[in-house]
Amino acid sequence: MAAKKAGRKKARRTASHAPAQATVRFYCHGIGDCHLLRFDKDNGDPFWVLIDCGIHTSISGGRAKIDAIVADIASVTNHLDVVVGTHEHWDHLSGFHTAREAFSNLSVGEVWLGWTENPDDEQARALDKFKGKALAALQGTQVRLAGAKAPHLAAVRNGVDSLMGFHFGLEGEKVRAARNALEAMASKKVRYLEPSKPPLTFPGLPNLRVYVLGPPRDEDLIKVRERKSEMYGLGAATARADALISAIQSEDADEADDDAPFEPNMGADLATLLGGTASPNDDAEKRTRDLLHAHYLDAPERRIDADWLGASAELAIQLDDRTNNSSLVLAFEFIDTGRVLLFTADAQVGNWLSWQDVAWNRGDAKVTGPDLLARTVLLKVGHHGSANATLEEKGLELMNDPDLTAFIPTNKKDAKKVHWGAMPFDEIVDALHAHAGKRLIRADDPWPQHAAGARVPFKAPSGSVRAVRRSDEPGLWVEMEVA
């Protein structure tokens, strides 16, 4: 064991003076992910990998920003060997739909998706069914929340609206359209990846292995949002979606609600009472209407007729958790140095926890999830730096390489428009600084934005980062060469 450690340290010392093995371009467009990786083959030809291409609907001029990104990609290559779609959120996939004409000018070899997107996978179909029902329910509640005169539901309304921005474009396009556009780009094949398979290797790149860390197969982990909290199971969440859909459909079709607590012939319809459709001489009805106006309709804080829509907040969180925890997580390993580039997409707690148990046999040795974390030198921080997308003890605290560099694809000003928690979360930023020091880069840092007098905050070359660059166009990208 000591000999192996000594050998690794020697390899790393040698590599510190070696030329770069990869170039990673991080685009800095706000709430959204897009990363372009270049690996050089033995014959000098480039091998291009694009991971995601999307932006949240709340970002002003978002479509133009994506167009600029795709134009930049086309300026360096007309062929992408691999395009990765990490999960079904608009801020990761929108560009494959909105910029599909521009992408059509690029040839694409393979498309990689998580096993959760495989239409032939029974477990994936069950998850997809839940997502479909949840979205249908949330669309209905979104309309009703917009019209509800209930100030106490404002937070629920903002949360649901923000969640829907991850699933729909500005013109109402479903994120599924973007995923389908991505799948159609593949000229060779679409791969649905999962951790149980051997690492991926490629002709002409003998020093590169790609490990799939997530998404997990364990449904209990897919639903975990916080380590110490117990979330409802998939079946319970589906039941809640069914109940919301049933209530919404009953209202729309003027039919009895099977989930209502009383028989249909009990009580009076509120709309009928307020509409005055009965005889105007009906004194009892008049007194009822006057009572409603005096003590209910004109006192919004007392109204409860829309409170059932509050259940949509829980459902929105469950949908978001399951989608983020189904993120495709990739670790790119350089075999000679053991260094790892880790792209976590929007993986939340459950996805991270699953990495503790993944392992691959490599001859007499074994590669594990914690081992890959320990050797990570470049981290794409998960979910724009949100509170539950970077684990502590079983996550960042395992990344103990002294040369760690991290990138957060976040503009804090834009993140406030999303109303989906603090992004980036201050405690996460502090922890990243503790591990990476000045080698923590945010998309909204002054130097990528070309602020006056702003300079790159750390010197290159270092052990793994051989060079750092920014685009000539303010705020377009930052780029690192990694050895």
* Strand stretches in 115-196, DSSP E: 189-193
The answer on 363 and 457 residing in a single domain is: yes
Average pLDDT over residues 387-416: 90
Which pLDDT belongs to residue 435?
Answer: 94
Going by pLDDT thresholds of 50, 70 and 90, the confidence category of residue 125 is very high
DSSP string, 34-70: -EEEEEE-TTS-EEEEEE-----TTSTTHHHHHHHHH
Q: Residue 30 above 90 pLDDT? A: no
Q: Looking at the predicted structure, is the pLDDT value of residue 233 above 50?
A: no
Q: Identify whether the C-beta of residue 362 lies closer than 8 Å to the C-beta of residue 338.
A: no
Higher pLDDT, 173 or 147: 173
- Specify the pLDDT at position 2: 42
Task: Specify the CATH number for the domain of residue 329.
Answer: 3.60.15.10
pLDDT category of residue 284 using cuts at 50, 70 and 90: low
Query: What is the rounded CA–CA span in Å between residue 268 and residue 289?
Result: 12
* Same structural domain, 290 and 358: no
Question: CB of 66 within 8 A of CB of 95?
Answer: yes
Whether 288 and 351 share a structural domain: no
Phi-psi bin for 211: left (phi > 0), alpha (psi -120 to 50), beta? beta
Comparing 49-58, 311-320, 422-431, the range with the smallest average pLDDT is: 311-320
Indicate whether 300 and 329 sit together in one domain: no
pLDDT of residue 297: 58
211-245 burial code (b ≥16 CB/10 A, e <16)? bbbbbbeebebbbbbeeeeebeebeebbebbebbb
Tokens of 6: 């000594």
Place of tokens 């392992």: 359
The answer to whether the beta carbons of residues 24 and 54 sit under 8 Å apart is no
Reply yes or no on whether the pLDDT at 264 is more than 90.
Answer: no
* Arithmetic mean of pLDDT, 398-414: 92
State residue 14's pLDDT score. 42
Whole-number mean pLDDT of the chain? 83
Does pLDDT of 226 surpass 70? no
Task: Say yes or no: 409 and 300 in one domain.
Answer: no
Radius of gyration of the chain (CA): 25
Lowest mean pLDDT among 149-158, 269-278, 427-436: 269-278
Q: Same structural domain for residues 360 and 448?
A: yes
Residue where the block lists tokens 């081992």: 371
Beta bridge partners of 407: 380, 441
Q: Are the C-beta atoms of 424 and 408 separated by less than 8 Å?
A: yes
In this structure, of 100-104, 384-388, 403-407, 413-417, the range with the lowest mean pLDDT score is 413-417
Q: What is the DSSP string of 194-205?
A: -TTSPPEEETTE
Number of domains in the chain: 2
Note the pLDDT of residue 292.
67
DSSP string, 390-414: S-TTTTGGG---TT-EEEE---HHH
Looking at the fold, whether 250 and 388 belong to one and the same domain comes out as: no
**Do 89 and 223 belong to one domain?**
yes
Mean pLDDT of 18-29: 91
| Same domain assignment for residues 242 and 329 | no
Torsion 84-85-91-96 (CA) sign: positive
Whether 156 and 191 map to the same domain: the answer is no
Domain range for 241 is: 131-163+232-259+268-318
Regarding predicted confidence, which is higher, 6 or 404?
Answer: 404
**What pLDDT is recorded for position 363?**
81
Residue 24, classed as helix, strand or coil, is strand
> Does residue 402 sit in the same domain as residue 384?
yes
Whether the CB-CB separation of 80 and 50 falls below 8 Å is answered with yes
The 3-state DSSP class for residue 3 equals: helix
Give the residue from 277, 301, 318 where a domain finishes: 318
The pLDDT, as a whole number, for residue 4 is 41
Percentage of the residues of the chain whose pLDDT score is greater than 90: 52
- pLDDT per residue over 326-383, tens digit each? 999 999 999 999 999 999 999 988 899 999 999 999 888 899 999 999 999 999 999 8
Res 89: pLDDT: 92
| 288-326 residue pLDDT tens | 767 766 666 555 555 555 565 566 666 666 777 788 889
Rounded to 5 degrees, what angle do the CA atoms 450, 85, 141 make?
95
Report residue 53 as tokens: 């291409």
Boundary (domain end) residue, out of 318, 340, 355: 318
Domain final residue, candidates 287, 302, 318: 318
Q: Are residues 214 and 327 in the same domain?
A: yes
